[in-house]
Amino acid sequence: MGSIYLIRHGQASFGADDYDVLSPVGIRQSEVLGEHLAQLGIRLDRCLAGDLRRQQDTARLALAAMQRAGIEVPSVETDAAFNEFDADAMIRNLLPGLLPEEPEARHILRNGTEHRSEFQRLFALLVQRWHSGEYDSNGCESWQGFVQRVENGLQRALQQASHGDNIAIFTSGGTITALLHLVTCISASQAFTLNWQIINTSLSQLKFRGREVALASFNSQAHVQLLKAPELITYR
């Protein structure tokens, strides 16, 4: 059987003008992940990443750390199917409908770094509305459209895979959530309950034989836990 390693990007720059940039913590997480993969003796046959900067940079830094440890690594192939859903567009389109119930929502969402717990609560509410399909808008990708995009990327990866390949996919939490939904057939709501637990640079593993795919492990944090560095365990 082959393996697909789903790797969430390192910590991005939450609250900054450009979220899509790894923070110093995100850079270190990516390097630590690569060192850990090298220690495990994992050799990758292919490496895929979405085209978001945080995904590409996490891949680049992790592979460079593996290479420094003497492990031969593949080049990074880009497939935008593994991009995160557009959270900003989702918020813009669904927020007006939430304001009658949550009149402070706009202020909280604009100042997330000052209201982290409330930001997460409101963001989860909006995500719930999004994946329910009851509030679909022409202004953003639907949950079903997102899942189809991710499934197309997975099928391309499987079509091009050889038996026993080790494939790394550097992606985002929402994309991993869609893949959990597809592979395990759990509901979108259940998948997003797991989503909130996915840490930056965590490692989830799928096993595949042909087109058959099964979940082998989820959200491994061993690379940061072994360092006893709690500051490297982040969720956004």
Write the DSSP string, 2-16.
Answer: EEEEEEEPPP--TTS
Residue 213 belongs to a domain: yes
Q: Does 162 share its domain with 122?
A: no
Range of weakest confidence among 52-66, 108-122, 155-169: 108-122
CATH (domain of 81): 3.40.50.1240
Within a domain: 172: yes
Same structural domain for residues 80 and 162?
yes
- The Cα 31–Cα 41 span in angstroms is 16
Residues paired with 77 in a beta bridge: 48
DSSP reduced 3-state for 212: strand
Tens digit of each residue's pLDDT (9 = 90 or more) over 73-87? 999 999 999 999 999
Looking at 132, 166, 195, which one is the last position of a domain? Answer: 132
Distance CA(185)–CA(181), nearest Å, equals 5
pLDDT mean over 183-202: 96
Return the closest-CA partner of residue 23 out of 195, 204, 196, 234: 234
| Spatial separation of the C-alpha atoms in residues 187 and 141, rounded to whole Å | 19
221 and 211 in one domain? yes
Are 155 and 81 in the same domain? yes
Domain C-terminal end among 132, 158, 191: 132
- Same domain for 40 and 120: no
Looking at the fold, whether 70 and 8 belong to one and the same domain comes out as yes
29-64 in b/e form (b: 16+ CB < 10 A) is bbbbbbbbbbeeeeebebbbbbebebbbbbbbbbbe
Q: Is residue 99 part of a domain?
A: yes
Is a pLDDT exceeding 80 seen at residue 15?
Answer: no
Identify whether residues 40 and 153 lie together within a single domain: yes
In the chain, the number of structural domains is: 2
Encoding tokens for residue 93? 């389109």
Amino acid occupying residue 160: Q
- Is residue 16 pLDDT above 80, yes or no? no
Could you report the per-residue pLDDT of 137-162, keeping only the tens digit for each? 677 899 999 999 999 999 999 999 99
Helix axes 116-132, 188-195, angle to 10 degrees: 160
- Asked if residue 92 and residue 121 are part of one domain, the reply reads yes
Q: Are residues 76 and 8 in the same domain?
A: yes
In a domain, 52, yes or no: yes
Same domain, 19 and 78: yes
Domain membership of residue 137 (yes or no) is no
* 10, 201 Cβ separation under 8 angstroms: yes
165/186 same-domain check: yes
Residue predicted with more confidence, 170 or 135 = 170
Last residue of a domain, one of 65, 97, 132: 132
- Which structural domain range is residue 95 located in? 87-132
- pTM of the predicted structure, to 2 decimals: 0.94
Whether 176 and 221 share a structural domain: yes
Mean pLDDT computed over 156-180: 97
Phi and psi of 115, rounded to 5°? -135, 60
The mean pLDDT of 200-222, rounded to a whole number, is 96
43: in domain: yes
